[in-house]
Amino acid sequence: MRITGKSSARDVAAAVAVALERAGLRGVLSGGGCASIYTRGLYQSVDLDFILQGPGTQKQLDAAMASIGFMREENQYFHSQARFYVEFPPGPLGIGDDYRIEPVEIRSGRSRLLLLSPTDSCRDRLAGFYHWNDRQGLEVAARIAARQDVDIEKIRRWSEQERALPRFEVFLEELERFRKRSRRRSQKPRPGGRPPRS
């Protein structure tokens, strides 16, 4: 898969996943990269965070990334064409105090990308809102939940464990605002078209 300046976050993440797999490494995309994919580009992150699962050396990682044109500068990998850089934060893979994370798989042709589920990506963004009052995290979590099939009850239970039920209620309000906005957009007649039937 050739990386260009037009490659999306999903394209670059898929290329990284293939390179890691060829090198015998297993990485799970987390953080803003997942949010970018699940909001269909409405949220854009400039970095792609992969959490490595299992053993691996820096030499293996450097070689894997170099095979697709990424060079390491300290702890970050940059590509001459890509709009995104790649990082490998230390594990384990977790969200708040929950480390029982089961990645999901997206396939595109021969490429296989492991990443957080939509529910876990939503929780990941909410963690920033719950613990650091990150309002952008709240907005992105609502955008994910409005566009993907997420387990609201699982998010509620986790929010209770994080002692953040009042903020969970704020999230539900934000989600309802996004859903109402989406419904209004879908009901607007297209230019030259007929208005929707009531």
* pTM for the predicted model, two decimal places: 0.88
Nearby residues of 75 by Cβ (< 8 Å), 6 or more positions away: 87, 88
Where in the chain are the domains?
A: 9-115, 118-187
CATH, range 9-115: 3.30.460
Give the chain's radius of gyration (CA, Å).
19
Share of the chain above pLDDT 90, in %: 80
Cis amide prior to 196 (ω within 30 degrees): no
Residues across the chain: 198
Cα end-to-end span (Å), the chain = 47
Output the pLDDT for position 91: 86
Q: Would the pLDDT of 195 be above 70?
A: no
Compute CA distances 115 → 16, 84, 121, 177, 179, whole Å. 12, 17, 9, 27, 25
The answer to whether 115 touches 31, Cβ cutoff 8 Å, is no
Please write the tens of the pLDDT for every residue from 106-141.
Answer: 987 778 999 999 999 999 999 999 999 999 999 999
Please write the tens of the pLDDT for every residue from 50-95.
Answer: 999 988 899 999 999 999 999 999 999 999 999 999 999 998 999 9
